[in-house]
Amino acid sequence: MKKKIFLYLLSLCLFSSCITEDIHDNTPQGNFDALWQAIDTKYCFLDYKHEEYGLDWDEVYRRYSNRLTDDMTKKQLFQVLAEMLEELRDGHVNLVSAHEISQYREWYDQYPTNFIDTIQRIYLGKDYKTTAGIKYQVLEDNIGYIYYGSFSNAIGESNLDEVLNELSICDGLILDIRNNGGGLLTMSETLAARFTNERVLTGYLRYKTGPGHNDFSSPEPVYVEPATDRVRWQKPVAVLTNRHAFSSANDFANKMRQMPNAILIGDKTGGGSGLPFSSELPNGWSIRFSASPIYDPEMNHLEFGIEPDIKVNMTSEDMQRGIDTIIETARIQLKKK
């Protein structure tokens, strides 16, 4: 009896199946395979980008794996992996090592900057106010101006109450998110909630439910609820965008497009509609990639940016005179309303 019990316990200890992950070797080939597989199973835009510009992730594997050698240095390996990731054309995709962070920059490098901070300073003057990462001022023609340069700077509800109260005397509001590279998605919601009196459907969110390219959840509607018992803006608002408005700023532009009194002015946004996740390689390098796509209310992708209602670039003549063409266009549009 004792012997049987002992054998039973021993078998339980020895034969309990272990749950482990197949980890690639820490070699150039192993790290390459780990990165390629992470994107293949977790990246959310492979099929969409195949349709848009013919991205073939299997072909990418063949092309870049030919560049691997057993004796290549870390920096050489990083270069190959970084170039492979650039095939995704995604500003949310980064490879992070101790010596470098890879970044796809063509989404704004190939376009006009459409934002010059020295010219912006002319509009802000010396007596502008600032709170929680927001700069604000009343322009000469009684148009309110808010600059929000990063959604990584969290704004409190009380901050927004104060700012909007201060600008409530204005005829209209310019909300400038140019060069806003994103940050907290919740800040996009918090700010957009000040520009509607009703619940507004602003888009859908999906996520991957498995490693297959088409393993996606059903679309989850995303709504903006009006901020209750808070100051809400009731007058016209112009949201200024450029190619450097990315990620959460792209999401904010999409949300504001659905608001009744809002208009988008400037250049197309930079996109970045995939909520990024992180993972890592056997050699310890970290990777970031888009994992969860956000769509507009018509289920259109926003990954490559949002076209403004009024497309306008800063002209060189205006820039030489210290004039921001996009701000001036917004002032004219707001005065018309």
Partner 1 sequence: MKRIILGLFFLWACILQANAQKDSIITRSTLYGIGHTNILDTYLSPMEYTGAELRILRENMRKTKYKDGKISRQSMFQAHISMLGNKAGTGSEFYFLANWNLAYHYQFILGENLKLLAGPNLDLNGGMIYNQRNSNNPVNAKTYANLDASGMAIYQFRIKDHPFVLRYQLNVPLIGLMFSPEYGQPYYEMSISKDFGKNICFTSLHNQPAIRQFLTLDFSIKKTNLRLGYVCDIQQAKVNHLKSHAWSHAFMIGFVKHFHLVNPYK
Interacting residues toward partner 1 by CB under 8 A: 1-2, 5, 9, 12-13, 16-21, 23, 26, 34, 38, 42, 44, 98, 185, 205, 207-211, 215, 217, 220, 222, 275-280, 282-286, 288, 291-292
CB of 176 to partner 1, least distance (A): 26
Q: Toward partner 1, which CB reaches closer, 227 or 327?
A: 227
Q: How far apart (Å, rounded) are the C-alpha atoms in residues 272 and 301?
A: 10
Tokens 């907290």 sit on residue? 184
52 vs 215, which CB is nearer to partner 1?
215
Smaller CB distance to partner 1: residue 175 or 275?
275
Shortest gap between Cβ of 254 and partner 1 (angstroms)? 15
We find the least distance from the C-beta atom of residue 168 to partner 1, in angstroms, to be 30
Count of beta carbons in the 10 Å neighbourhood of residue 329? 18
Q: 8 or 53: whose CB is closer to partner 1?
A: 8
The CA distance from 287 to 280, in Å, is: 5
247 vs 329 by CB, closer to partner 1: 247
Residue 10: CB minimum distance to partner 1, A = 11
Measured from the CB of residue 9, what is the shortest distance to partner 1 in angstroms? 7
Which has the closest alpha carbon to 311: 248, 211, 212, 243? 243
Q: How many residues does the chain have?
A: 337
Task: Compute the Cα dihedral for 83, 87, 91, 97 and give only its sign.
Answer: negative
Phi first, then psi: what are they for 18, rounded to 5°?
Answer: -90, 140
Residue with tokens 């057993």: 70
Looking at the chain, list the stretches that DSSP marks H as alpha helix, in order from N- to C-terminal side: 2-15, 28-42, 46-53, 57-65, 74-86, 106-109, 117-124, 157-166, 185-192, 248-257, 316-320, 325-336
Q: Which residues pair with 201 in a beta bridge?
A: 223
For residues 163 and 146, is the Cβ–Cβ distance under 8 A? yes
Give the tokens for residue 274: 């995939």
> C-beta of 190: minimal distance to partner 1 in Å?
13
CB of 78 to partner 1, least distance (A): 14
Least distance (Å) from partner 1 to the CB of residue 132?
21
135 vs 208, beta carbon nearer partner 1: 208
Phi, psi of 40 (to 5 degrees): -60, -35
Nearer to partner 1, 136 or 285 (CB): 285
Q: Which is nearer to partner 1, 42 or 230 (CB)?
A: 42
How many DSSP H helices and E strands does the chain contain? Answer: 12, 12
Distance of CA 10 to the CA centre of its chain: 53
